[in-house]
Amino acid sequence: MTEIIIDIETIPDLEYGKEHMNLNGLADEDIIRAMTFRFLQQSGSEFPPLNMHKIIAISFLKVSCEETTITSLSINDHSEEDMLRTLHEALQNDISKLISWNGLTFDIPVILIRSMIHELISSELFISSSKHLDLKHEISFAQTDKIQGLGTLSKQIGSPGKPLDSGKMVWDLYLENAFSEITEYCESDVINTYLIYLSYQLLTQIIDNNQKQLKLNELIEFIQHYNPIHMTLLTKS
């Protein structure tokens, strides 16, 4: 069985702000400020509606009996359209399961909306609810507003948690052109999600303690060669 753990990072859709909100000519920082103020007025939250996000990074961890790999795509190297096309093509094969944290209410809708804007054909994995496990939705019995975020639960199961407190801090990194830091943050989210997934599998008796440790060892071996900076996530606090 192949499992895909996915995460995206986004900023407000600056192009929409320029073309349809009379913000053309402003610096990106000022466009973000103006757009988030408009969102705050409309909904009481600065966080953009699902259709007002632009994807700037995608990471997915692929785990199978043959291999463990991480693939990351960044707006620094690819257009949003190319990132999404690559994502859909990579997941077009027979993938057994998609795992996310809050994917039902954020990542997957944003991926589908942005793919539709670019007139792309979606991988079946993103439109088949039977193949998607949203851990936040699952462990809260759909009471997602009653459970805190990925970073908090990661700490509770023994991981150091997320390197950034809020996804909004990604906007600051984007304005600073800190694309490698954004990618590392996105990768840390998929790793933390996978660690929670292993605990969930143990909870539901899909795996036992020995199998969980084996999977952790395989992840550690991969991370040591891929990017040792992520080893801090695998150190029990």
Other beta carbons within 10 Å of 43? 11
- Examine the pLDDT at 86 and tell me if it is beyond 60: yes
DSSP states along 41-72: HHHS-SSPPGGGEEEEEEEEEEE-SS-EEEEE
Q: List all residues 6 or more positions away from 200 whose beta carbon is below 8 Å from its beta carbon.
A: 135, 138, 139
* pLDDT reading at 37 higher than 80: yes
How large is the average pLDDT for residues 200-204?
A: 98
Q: What CATH number should be reported for the domain holding residue 142?
A: 3.30.420.10
Interior angle at CA 78, CA 73 and CA 82, nearest 5: 90
Q: What is the dihedral of CA 48, 18, 126, 191, to 10 degrees?
A: -60
Q: What integer is the mean pLDDT of 102-110?
A: 97
Dihedral pair phi/psi, residue 181, rounded to 5°: -65, -35
Distance (Å, whole) CA 3 – CA 67: 11
What value does the mean pLDDT of the chain take?
94
pLDDT greater than 60 at residue 151: yes
Tally of structural domains, the chain: 1
> How does residue 237 score in pLDDT terms, banded at 50, 70 and 90?
very low
Segments forming the whole domain that contains residue 132:
3-234
Q: Which two tokens stand for residue 94?
A: 């027979």
Buried b or exposed e, range 187-222, using 16+ CB within 10 angstroms: bbbbbbbbbbbbbbbeeeeebeeeebeebeeebeeb
Q: For residue 57, what are the β-bridge partners? A: 9, 74
CA distances (Å), 222 to each of 15, 62, 69, 225, in order? 38, 11, 7, 6
Distance from C-alpha of 61 to C-alpha of 194, rounded to nearest angstrom: 8
d(Cα 188, Cα 70) in Å, to the nearest integer? 11
What does residue 45 show for φ and ψ, rounded to 5 degrees? -140, 140
Query: Residue 169 has what pLDDT?
Result: 87
